[in-house]
């Protein structure tokens, strides 16, 4: 609908420079530039390399997004930008860019929470999100379980990883198996030819004694070590490593824990909607397992298409659109980048009028 | 022609509006806050404030001038991304000037000058200017002692800039009190010819002078004893 707000979203919290444009819940453009290849040889994202790449990419990425959407910046109603959490220097490039665009075009700017944006992006695919909902956000940088009461004003963190992020475990196990970085896609691919029950890898924080204190928390560090031990033992014995079986069994362990805890959160809170987002949500086994198990609980699983699961500008625009529609005040021009932005803050408040 | 000048290469976060005419460059409004940790928070409100003070709208700008550094990376990028994004929206050219020129150029009057800013990690960013204000060495990043030696070789008689105050002992040159940080009027003067000629704008490439701290991850440690 033409009278719905036209919102631009900017994302630079990690290694992707994203600019997205939405009208209401309709995605018009999703332009992306990635520095992932520059980080590959380091086995992880190098913050300064990412920040430099954002500065180089932001203007051309904006041009592509505007062209793709067939609009000019003068048509835009508001600009949303990830102001946290993420890599401090990388966030700052996006926040300063958003303010430059907002200043020059005389538009309001919203500093928004990256994780809430991962939830909001699903509205572009499946329409308005029923509230309350449970959100499972899993990527190389985060693993969180949230109760989404009101996506415009506040979400309640239920649990998070106590050590590695789920995506980080994929990266580390991929490296161990000689697969490329980032590890999610190659493990998913290898696992298709493997037996998920071949090796019984541990499920972190699922034992009764752990559940008392960490009902909705995750731990992937022990799993990662268990995989390393298993692979090394094979190598020392001079036996070949069955890469597909290790990948499938590892992936099964991760997906098992994630879906069990997410669905338990739905059941305990009487909630019928589970949204999964973040790069790991692109994993085919996670999607299949969640859908299969959710049926038992009468829960509807919403997972956006893979391109919207990984970091992008469209998710930020989607959240911005939701905030504008809900009448939330924009942020001020002294909006900071906040690398440790708490989950309870969906957008940085402006002046209270 | 109304021109916006920004520089965030030093702890002094600076925005200014200047009027560039056929016979000179005049300051219309100026904001500067010295805070090495808040470039991202400070610059946009400063730009907003100088526009308001001059009673101008962003669309009135004819060009944008930005200090390209050298300077600590995170803060430096704030000025450059602000200039680049505003230039993109407004469709006006952006011009880069070496930030040290905004410190050294105005001081050069007959004798060579060493301009110095703080590069942290016990190093300085520096450049040397001849008596006419032309840069003859730098910009470089090195230990203050190295800058001092080069300045001596080039017969500099005075040092200027925040870094010169900080490392006055090592530099062994008399230190000029001002400018301590890049002077926006000076940055505009150095771009004035290009502005008046309507020269094509340039992509604002920061003078990092240092490679990113990126250590290739070492071989994986075994977990088995
Ligand atoms: Zn993310």
User: Is residue A102 situated within a structural domain?
Assistant: yes
Q: How many domains does chain A have?
A: 2
User: Could you tell me how many helices (H) and strands (E) chain B has, helices first?
Assistant: 7, 10
**What is the CATH classification number for the domain harbouring A277?**
3.30.420.40
Question: How far, in Å, is the centroid of ligand 1 from the Cα of B116?
Answer: 40
Q: Are residue A71 and residue A155 in the same domain, yes or no?
A: no
User: Is residue A259 situated within a structural domain?
Assistant: yes
First to last CA, chain B: 72
Tell me which residue of A160, A165, A161 sits closest to A147, measured CA to CA: A160
Question: How far, in Å, is the centroid of ligand 1 from the Cα of A162?
Answer: 17
Question: How far, in Å, is the centroid of ligand 1 from the Cα of A20?
Answer: 15
> Could you read off the pLDDT of A62-91 as tens digits, one per residue?
999 999 999 999 999 999 999 999 999 999
Mean pLDDT value across residues A102-106: 98
Task: Report whether pLDDT(A351) > 90.
Answer: no
Q: Which of chain A's residues have a Cβ under 8 Å away from the Cβ of B38?
A: 336
Q: How confident is the model at residue A171 (pLDDT cuts 50, 70, 90)?
A: very high
ipTM of predicted assembly, 2 dp: 0.95
Give strand pairing partners of B4: B17, B64
Mean pLDDT value across residues A258-271: 96
> Could you read off the pLDDT of B101-122 as tens digits, one per residue?
999 999 998 999 999 999 999 9
* % of chain B beyond a pLDDT of 90: 92
Q: What is the rounded CA–CA span in Å between residue A81 and residue B197? A: 36
B215 touching A (Cβ < 8 Å): yes
Question: Residue A65: which domain range?
Answer: 6-124+309-326
User: Is residue A335 situated within a structural domain?
Assistant: no
Query: Where is pLDDT greater, at A11 or B219?
Result: A11
User: Is residue A71 situated within a structural domain?
Assistant: yes
Q: Are residue A228 and residue A140 in the same domain, yes or no?
A: yes
Q: Are residue A118 and residue A142 in the same domain, yes or no?
A: no
Q: Are residue A48 and residue A169 in the same domain, yes or no?
A: no
Question: What's the pLDDT score for residue A36?
Answer: 83
Question: What's the pLDDT score for residue A241?
Answer: 96
**Interface-testing mutation among A41, A101, A104, with chain B (most B C-beta atoms within 10 A):** A104
Q: Which of chain B's residues have a Cβ under 8 Å away from the Cβ of A35?
A: none
Task: Calculate the alpha carbon distances from A103 to A253, A352, B40, B83, B195 in Å.
Answer: 48, 20, 14, 11, 22
B224, A233: Cβ pair inside 8 Å? Answer: yes
Whole-number average pLDDT of chain A: 94
Measure in Å the smallest separation between the Cα of B43 and chain A Cα atoms: 8
Question: What's the pLDDT score for residue B225?
Answer: 56
> Could you read off the pLDDT of A114-166 as tens digits, one per residue?
999 999 999 999 999 999 999 999 998 889 999 999 999 889 999 999 999 99
> Could you read off the pLDDT of A27-70 as tens digits, one per residue?
999 999 998 888 877 877 899 999 999 999 999 999 999 999 99
**Strands A16-23 and A6-11, bridge-based pairing:** antiparallel
Q: How confident is the model at residue B217 (pLDDT cuts 50, 70, 90)?
A: very low
Q: How confident is the model at residue B213 (pLDDT cuts 50, 70, 90)?
A: confident
Cα R_g (chain A), whole angstroms: 20
Q: How confident is the model at residue A353 (pLDDT cuts 50, 70, 90)?
A: very low
Q: Are residue A160 and residue A103 in the same domain, yes or no?
A: no
Q: Are residue A193 and residue A120 in the same domain, yes or no?
A: no
Question: What's the pLDDT score for residue A2?
Answer: 57
Q: Which of chain A's residues have a Cβ under 8 Å away from the Cβ of B45?
A: 332-334
Task: Report whether pLDDT(B211) > 70.
Answer: yes
Q: Are residue A318 and residue A276 in the same domain, yes or no?
A: no
Q: Are residue A39 and residue A146 in the same domain, yes or no?
A: no
Q: How confident is the model at residue B222 (pLDDT cuts 50, 70, 90)?
A: low
Whole-number average pLDDT of chain B: 94
B223, A335: Cβ pair inside 8 Å? Answer: no
Q: Which of chain B's residues have a Cβ under 8 Å away from the Cβ of A43?
A: 216-217
Burial level of B209, CB count in 10 A (0-12/13-18/19+)? middle
Q: Domains of chain B, with CATH numbers?
A: 2-99+182-197 (3.30.420.40), 107-171 (3.30.420.40)
Say which of B41, B86, B214 has its CB closest to residue A48.
Answer: B214
**Strands B124-129 and B175-176, bridge-based pairing:** unpaired
Q: Are residue A315 and residue A288 in the same domain, yes or no?
A: no
> Could you read off the pLDDT of B42-60 as tens digits, one per residue?
999 999 999 999 999 999 9
Q: Are residue A171 and residue A267 in the same domain, yes or no?
A: yes
Question: What's the pLDDT score for residue A135?
Answer: 97
Q: Are residue A20 and residue A94 in the same domain, yes or no?
A: yes
Across the A:B interface, residue pairs with CB atoms under 8 Å apart total: 121
User: Is residue A350 situated within a structural domain?
Assistant: no
What is the pTM (predicted TM-score) of this model?
Answer: 0.94
Question: What's the pLDDT score for residue B215?
Answer: 62
């Amino acid at each position: 609908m033409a009278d719905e707000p036209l919102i631009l979203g900017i994302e630079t919290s990690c290694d992707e420079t994203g600019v997205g444009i939405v009208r209401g819940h309709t995605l018009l453009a999703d332009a992306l530039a990635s520095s992932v290849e520059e980080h590959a040889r380091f086995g992880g994202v190098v913050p300064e390399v990412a920040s430099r790449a954002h500065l180089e990419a932001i203007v051309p990425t904006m041009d592509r997004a505007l062209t793709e959407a067939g609009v000019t910046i003068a048509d835009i109603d508001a600009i949303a930008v990830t102001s946290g959490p993420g890599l401090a220097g990388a966030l700052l490039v996006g926040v300063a860019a958003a303010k430059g665009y907002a200043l020059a075009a005389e538009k309001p700017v919203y500093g928004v929470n990256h994780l809430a944006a991962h939830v909001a992006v699903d509205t572009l695919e499946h329409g308005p999100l029923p509230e309350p909902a449970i959100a499972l956000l899993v990527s190389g940088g985060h693993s969180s379980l949230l109760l989404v009461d009101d996506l415009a004003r506040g979400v309640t963190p239920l649990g998070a990883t106590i050590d590695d992020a789920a995506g980080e475990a994929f990266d580390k196990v991929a490296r161990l198996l000689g697969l490329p970085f980032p590890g999610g896609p190659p493990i998913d691919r290898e696992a298709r030819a493997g037996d998920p029950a071949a090796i019984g890898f541990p499920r972190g924080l699922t034992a009764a004694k752990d559940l008392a204190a960490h009902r909705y928390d995750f731990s992937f560090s022990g799993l990662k070590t268990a995989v390393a031990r298993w692979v090394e033992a094979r190598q020392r014995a001079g036996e070949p490593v069955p890469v597909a079986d290790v990948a499938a069994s590892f992936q099964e362990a991760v997906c098992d824990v994630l879906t069990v805890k997410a669905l338990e959160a739905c059941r305990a809170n009487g909630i019928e909607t589970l949204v999964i987002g973040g790069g790991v949500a692109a994993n085919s086994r996670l999607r299949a397992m969640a859908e299969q198990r959710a049926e038992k609980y009468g829960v509807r699983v919403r997972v956006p298409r893979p391109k919207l699961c990984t970091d992008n500008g469209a998710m930020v625009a989607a959240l911005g659109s939701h905030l504008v529609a809900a009448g939330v005040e924009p942020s001020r021009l002294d909006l900071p980048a906040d690398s440790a932005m708490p989950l309870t803050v969906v957008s940085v408040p402006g002046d209270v009028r | 022609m109304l021109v916006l000048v920004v520089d965030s290469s030093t702890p002094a976060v600076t925005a200014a509006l200047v009027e560039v005419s056929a016979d000179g460059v005049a300051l219309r409004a100026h904001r500067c806050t010295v805070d090495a940790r808040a470039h991202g928070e400070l610059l946009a409100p400063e730009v907003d404030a100088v526009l308001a003070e001059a009673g101008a709208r962003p669309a009135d700008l004819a060009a944008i001038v930005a200090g390209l550094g050298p300077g600590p990376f995170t803060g430096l990028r704030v000025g450059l991304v602000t200039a680049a994004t505003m230039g993109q929206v407004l469709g006006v050219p952006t011009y880069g000037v070496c930030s040290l020129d905004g410190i050294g150029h105005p001081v050069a009057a007959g004798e060579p000058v060493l301009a110095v800013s703080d590069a942290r990690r016990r190093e300085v960013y520096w450049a040397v200017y001849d008596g006419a204000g032309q840069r003859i060495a730098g910009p470089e990043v090195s230990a203050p002692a190295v800058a001092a030696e080069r300045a001596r070789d080039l017969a500099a008689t005075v040092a200027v800039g925040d870094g010169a105050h900080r490392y006055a002992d090592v530099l062994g040159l008399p230190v000029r009190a001002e400018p301590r940080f890049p002077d926006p009027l000076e940055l505009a003067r150095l771009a004035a010819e290009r502005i008046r000629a309507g020269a094509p704008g340039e992509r604002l490439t920061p003078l990092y002078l240092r490679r990113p701290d990126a250590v290739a991850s070492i071989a994986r440690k075994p977990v088995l004893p």
